[in-house]
Structure 1
Amino acid sequence: MTDRFGAFDKGLWLPDEPMAENDLTSGHHVLFDGPFTFPVMVARRTALDANIATMAHYAHRHGVRFAPHGKTSMSPKLFAAQLDAGAWGITVATANQALAAWRFGVPRVFLANQLHDPRVLRWLAEKVGGGWESVFYVDSAEGVATAAEALAGTPGGRLDVVVELGRAGGRTGCRSVAGAVEVARAAADSGLTVRGVAGYEGGLENAEAVAAWLRGLAAAGDAVAEAVQVRGRPIVSAGGSAWFDVVIDVLGPLTARRDVVLRSGAYVSHDDGFYSRVTPFGRRPEEGALVGALEVWAHVQSVPEPGLAVLGAGRRDVPFDLGLPVPLEVRAADGTLRPASGMSVVRVDDQHAYAETNRVAVRPGELVRLGVSHPCTAFDKWRVIPVVDDGYRVVDVLRTYF
């Protein structure tokens, strides 16, 4: 991992010589007059720190393990901050993400997906056999057989698995408790180390449906623990960023006899769109609060007709899958700020956003501060993300590895 930045780093303006990281993050550079160009995405330090602390305290207060999903940021600095705050491990979704986490020094990785690549499985068996902690999902006889074959070819290796429970019409996972037990028995008989059960409640329509599914997951955990020898305290794991309160309600009482592992990830930066509306802290404000930490600053490129402003940030710069960016503030050429209340982004293309200005008067060349919607598809658009204090001095930088 390099400690220098140059002309190929989006959002930075370094046309001549590269810049060392300690120079960029010295606190001498302000976003609006430093070596930056627009659009640029930044992360606010105070918001990141507050979000990490809030979820760490939440998990500790409820007695659950916390393995935040690393696919949100794929940032080693954020992984380290989450672990330093007490996270039990880091969750990932792919083999490449697991490899990156291992290279970052993450001591425990929860791979919340199936693995069918023999090369990856042999590598994982060697690392786990050598003392690294990692588990992955199985939900089929074929997946078990591939893992068992890889394990047999890795002397001294070990593969730890959790059986995934899904639901009809959902994505991966066994469709019934009986199916989960069958896969668990096949895994144990094949020499794999069964650790428990897991699944994902995202996509269910309401709290009642989530709770019903979680009760099925708890039943699957009991059935698997009765059917096979489970290594250590049995794991039962769930929890995205929309329903972790229901996960605590249903699975929290199991902590006396299970390791309940919560895997929410979007919280680390939160957002000003989708997750700001669905966060459990909106339903239970007494439990805490999260703050949007990511901002994309973009110029007003043109005001070609009344009521329309075209901004210089598009699909390559902002997420658009779970809502469009949210205009928060306008910065005039003289540096004064005014609210963007009433302005809304209605469409994006590759490099532009189309904003209805309504009662907000903007001029070409002004900057608009945009909040994002869905951080998981914001981080992956930026390899370098300056971290700023509340005065927009750059105090750190995040690199992402997707």
Structure 2
Amino acid sequence: MRGMDATSMDMMTTPAALVDLDRVDANLKRVATYTRQHGLRWRPHTKTHKTPELAALQLAAGAQGVTVATVREAEVMAAVCDDVLLAYPPVGAERLVRLMRLPPQVRLTVALDSGEALELLSREARRAGRTVGVLVELDLGMRRVGVQSPEDAVALALAVTYSSGLEYRGITFYAGHLRIPQAELGPAMREQAARLATYVEALTAAGLRPSTVSGGSTPTLWRSHEVTGLTEIRPGINIFNDRNSVSIGACAWNECAYSVLATVVSTSVPGQAVIDAGSKALAKEDGFTDTGVYGALLDLPDILVRGLSEEHGLLDLSSTAWRPRVGDRVRVVPNHACASVNLHDRLHLLRQGTWAGTHAITARGW
């Protein structure tokens, strides 16, 4: 492999998750510049890396808080950040009890979309003697979670204001359904802005104008300023980027900071090579713009991973003259970095192409 310290990499057991810190730095600098230019708060979603050291880099680059999806992520990130948003319905006794045990200095906010979740959260907050912020979650087209009308949002926000232990802090949404090329995003972003405006207007008329309007994603990151009223964004993948992000123009290939180091273990079948990174290392997710492809080689992006079983990845060599040998090592950029990271227990760090240590993926699983 070009640009890597041969001694360190040759000793590494594969498959192994690699992070190029120089690219991470550049990715963080880019989003920090963008958010400053457009007056947006930056609250990155740590589900991508699940690593407190990388959250600390995001905070040092200008992030004002972090987003988490699990209680375990909240517990881990609380060690480096005192402003945490749980962007997941806080339902379940164990989840709530553990949330209330976060250090008292942590400004905790949760997203919810139901009276049932609100009542449970209020009860546990009272028991713990702490105040928990609430963002009312809206469905602006994702069709996953979120209240379905401005009237529902007003009713739930009012219920929050009357619930002890809770503080109404605004609204949140996730437009994860917008996974299309950047050049085609314009109409979708305008529709998102128009739908959001109906919620903000209804809440404002009810005396509940949201101080926080939280949204954003990596696919829509660079168009976030087109959504009038948005106050903060929560991109996750952009710290690493991945093949999906490249496929829709959300980043360039040379901005992909995450890859999986793999070893070629077989070349017996004509037209392909087999690597030791399968679905348990790369994650078996189709791409945004194609199916049956699960990644591509970092140094040779035209060479695709066209088949995955648990421990085998199949490199399609049918359109290239490149022929690897058994024992050669390659780096694969997966379709979805978040899903791949969660399959590993540590990140191996590179700085200027040289091995620079490891970080445990402390918040994985659980």
TM-score > 0.5, shorter chain as reference: yes
Normalised by the length of structure 1, the TM-score is 0.79
Is 1:105 the counterpart of 2:69? The answer is no
Is 1:351 the counterpart of 2:328? The answer is no
The residue correspondences of 1:10-159 to structure 2 (distance < 5 A) are: 30-33=7-10, 35-102=11-78, 104-121=79-96, 124=99, 130-155=104-129, 157-159=130-132
Q: 1:225 to 1:31 in 2, by over 3 A?
A: farther
Structure possessing the higher radius of gyration over alpha carbons: 1
Deviation for aligned residue 1:202: 1.1
Deviation for aligned residue 1:218: 3.5
Mapped to 2, the partners of 1:119 and 1:366 lie a distance apart of 47
Is 1:376 the counterpart of 2:338? The answer is yes
Q: 2:269 aligns with which of 305, 327, 332?
A: 305
| Residue identity matched to 1:132 | V
Mapped to 2, the partners of 1:30 and 1:145 lie a distance apart of 57
Give CA-to-partner distance per residue, 1:238-262, whole Å, 9 cap, x none: 00110123321113xx37xxxx110
Which residue is 1:400 aligned to?
361
Asked if the contact 2:189–2:227 (Cα under 8 Å) also holds between the matched residues in 1, the reply is no
Unaligned segments of structure 2, at least 5 residues: 288-293
Aligned-pair identity (%): 26
Is 1:237 the counterpart of 2:198? The answer is no
Mapped to 1, the partners of 2:281 and 2:48 lie a distance apart of 16
Deviation for aligned residue 1:151: 2.9
- Aligned with 2:323: secondary structure? coil
Q: 1:202 aligns with which of 158, 176, 185?
A: 176
Give CA-to-partner distance per residue, 1:137-159, whole Å, 9 cap, x none: 1211212221222233333x212
Asked if the contact 1:196–1:225 (Cα under 8 Å) also holds between the matched residues in 2, the reply is no
Deviation for aligned residue 1:216: 2.0
Unaligned segments of structure 1, at least 5 residues: 1-26, 283-288, 330-339
Is 1:270 the counterpart of 2:241? The answer is yes
Give CA-to-partner distance per residue, 1:147-187, whole Å, 9 cap, x none: 222233333x2121011111467011001111101111111
Mapped to 2, the partners of 1:36 and 1:200 lie a distance apart of 38
Mapped to 2, the partners of 1:341 and 1:159 lie a distance apart of 46
Mapped to 1, the partners of 2:310 and 2:13 lie a distance apart of 18
Normalised by the length of structure 2, the TM-score is 0.86
Mapped to 2, the partners of 1:239 and 1:169 lie a distance apart of 12
Q: 1:169 to 1:105 in 2, by over 3 A?
A: closer
Q: 1:131 to 1:298 in 2, by over 3 A?
A: closer
Asked if the contact 1:167–1:176 (Cα under 8 Å) also holds between the matched residues in 2, the reply is no
In the comparison of the two structures, how many residue pairs are matched? 346
| Residue identity matched to 2:349 | V
Deviation for aligned residue 1:346: 1.0
| Residue identity matched to 2:202 | A
Mapped to 1, the partners of 2:341 and 2:89 lie a distance apart of 24
Is 1:183 the counterpart of 2:156? The answer is yes
Deviation for aligned residue 1:205: 6.3
Deviation for aligned residue 1:28: 8.9
Q: Which has the larger displacement, 47-56 or 208-217?
A: 208-217
Q: 1:148 to 1:309 in 2, by over 3 A?
A: same
Give CA-to-partner distance per residue, 1:194-247, whole Å, 9 cap, x none: 0011101111466323431333223323432442557xx700010011012332
Mapped to 1, the partners of 2:245 and 2:25 lie a distance apart of 18
Asked if the contact 1:270–1:290 (Cα under 8 Å) also holds between the matched residues in 2, the reply is no
Which residue is 2:290 aligned to?
none
Please give the root-mean-square deviation of Cα atoms over the aligned residues, in Å. 2.5
| Residue identity matched to 2:355 | V
Q: Which has the larger displacement, 199-208 or 136-145?
A: 199-208
Deviation for aligned residue 1:354: 1.2
Asked if the contact 2:142–2:175 (Cα under 8 Å) also holds between the matched residues in 1, the reply is no
